[in-house]
Amino acid sequence: MLKLDMLRSTPLEHDPFEYLIVKNFVDQQRLKEVLADYPVVPGPGSHPPAGLKISGHFKDLIDELLGSSFRSIVEEKFDIDLAGRPTMYTVRGFCRTRDGQIHTDSKTKIITVLLYMNDDSWESSTGRLRLLRNDSDLENYVAEVEPSGGTLLIFKRSDNSWHGHHPFEGKRRAIQLNWVTDQSVVDREQSRHGFSSKIKRLFQPSNWIQ
C-alpha cells in the first residue's frame, strides 16, 4: 500500500537540513481501509503500540513501514547505514494547543518518519508542520507539510533540524517512526509513553477519545 517508487524518485532536500516530503505516499483506496482500522487513541500525545489495538489494515501498514524495502530506500536516500539500529513507533490521534512547539528531536533519534493519517485534505490553516531555519521563528520556514492523509515526511535528526507548527486543537492523526541509537532508547521511550497513555485513559474527557 506504500508507493515506494514515488519515495525512491523524490529528491532529498539539504537546506537547512536533510529531509523529503512525499504527498499521497499511501494508496488512497488502501488509506480508507487503514483509517477504518485506526486504533482507538486515548487522548492527545504519543501512544506506543503496546497500549493500543494494532490490527487489520492498520497493522498491514505498520508492517510495511517496518519492512526491509522501506528501510533500504531510507538508507539510500540519506546515505546512512541503519543495520542494527532499532526502531520504535507511536500513534497520535489528537493535538493540543500546547503541542507543536519548535524543537529538533532528541539526539538519540537518527531518522524521523512522520506519516499523516487524516482525511484527504486539511482545512485548517494551523497544525501544518513547518521545517524551520531557526529555533524561534515559525514564519522563517523552508517547507510546510500539510498533514493530509498519506503525506510522508522523513528527515535526518541534527542540531538544526528545527520544526514546529502553529497551535491547533482537535483530531490530528499521525504515525511517528524513528530509527534510534540503541535498544535502551526504545525501552525508555516506550515505557514513558506507555505510562502517559495509561494516565490519559483515566483522566481524559470522552471527546478526547476517538
Tens digit of each residue's pLDDT (9 = 90 or more) over 31-80: 999 999 999 998 898 999 998 999 999 999 999 999 999 999 999 999 99
Q: What confidence score (pLDDT) does residue 190 get?
A: 77
Q: What confidence score (pLDDT) does residue 117 get?
A: 96
What whole-number distance in Å separates Cα of residue 177 and Cα of residue 48? Answer: 11
| From 19-23, 131-135, 188-192, 199-203, the region with the lowest mean pLDDT | 199-203
What whole-number distance in Å separates Cα of residue 169 and Cα of residue 94? Answer: 7
What whole-number distance in Å separates Cα of residue 154 and Cα of residue 40? Answer: 25
Residue 206 pLDDT class (50, 70, 90 cuts):
low
What whole-number distance in Å separates Cα of residue 166 and Cα of residue 173? Answer: 16
Four-point Cα dihedral 189, 192, 198, 200, nearest 10 = -100
112 bridge partner residues: 155, 178
Domains, in order of start, for the chain = 4-204 (2.60.120.620)
- The per-residue pLDDT for range 152-161, each reduced to its tens digit, is 999 999 999 9
The number of CA neighbours under 13 Å toward the Cβ of 162 is: 16
Could you tell me the pTM of the whole model?
0.91
Q: Which residue has the cell 543495520?
A: 83
